[in-house]
Amino acid sequence: MTLKERVEGDIKQAMLAKDKPRLQALRSIKSLILLAETEKGGGEGLTQDTELKLLTKAAKQRRESAEVYTQQNREDLAQIEIGELAVIEEYLPKQLDEGDLRARLLDIIQRVGATGPSDLGRVMGVASKELAGQADGRAISSAVGALLNNTDF
């Protein structure tokens, strides 16, 4: 089942349950999918990699918006963003915890042959591809920096 089909099925369920916040989040996901399909020229649909990138970008936007709203003392709007983020995260792969992230990064550092901070770019290139959707880019970057500088993160 494609992401689009899953979302459409979940939209129907949310409509029947009259769950407006969930319905709004699902419709925004569907909108992203439709925009991406028409942007590519349509036809065969989206690849799983493209779907993952769409969801990751949407989750990042919600997270950043919630932070901004919280800083501006707009908890009502922040809660809406956090609710939509929770729905989006249901479709993303399970996120790595710090221990798993560290183990995976140490493996990547060893395979790449990185020896210090000057190898950050090489490690980040591989780590970004392998850990896409499983960890936030900022978390990966700070962890790689700490590991290459021989400090704990």
> For residue 2, which amino acid is it?
T
Rounded Cα distance between 16 and 65, Å, is 29
Residue range 16-44: average pLDDT?
86
Instruction: Show me where the domains of the chain are located.
Output: 3-89, 98-148
**Nearest 5 degrees, angle CA 84-CA 88-CA 89?**
115
Tell me, which fold does domain 3-89 have in CATH?
Hypothetical Protein Yqey; Chain: A; domain1 (1.10.1510)
Q: Does the reported pTM lie above 0.75?
A: no
The CATH class that applies to domain 98-148 reads: mainly alpha
Q: Give residue-wise pLDDT tens across range 41-64.
A: 655 677 888 888 889 899 989 999
Model confidence over 81-130: pLDDT tens digits?
999 999 998 998 888 888 888 889 999 988 888 888 888 888 898 888 88
- Taking the alpha carbons of 7, 56, 109, 138 in that order, is the dihedral positive or negative? negative
Higher pLDDT: 66 or 137? It is: 66
- Helices 98-112, 120-130: axis angle to 10 degrees equals 120
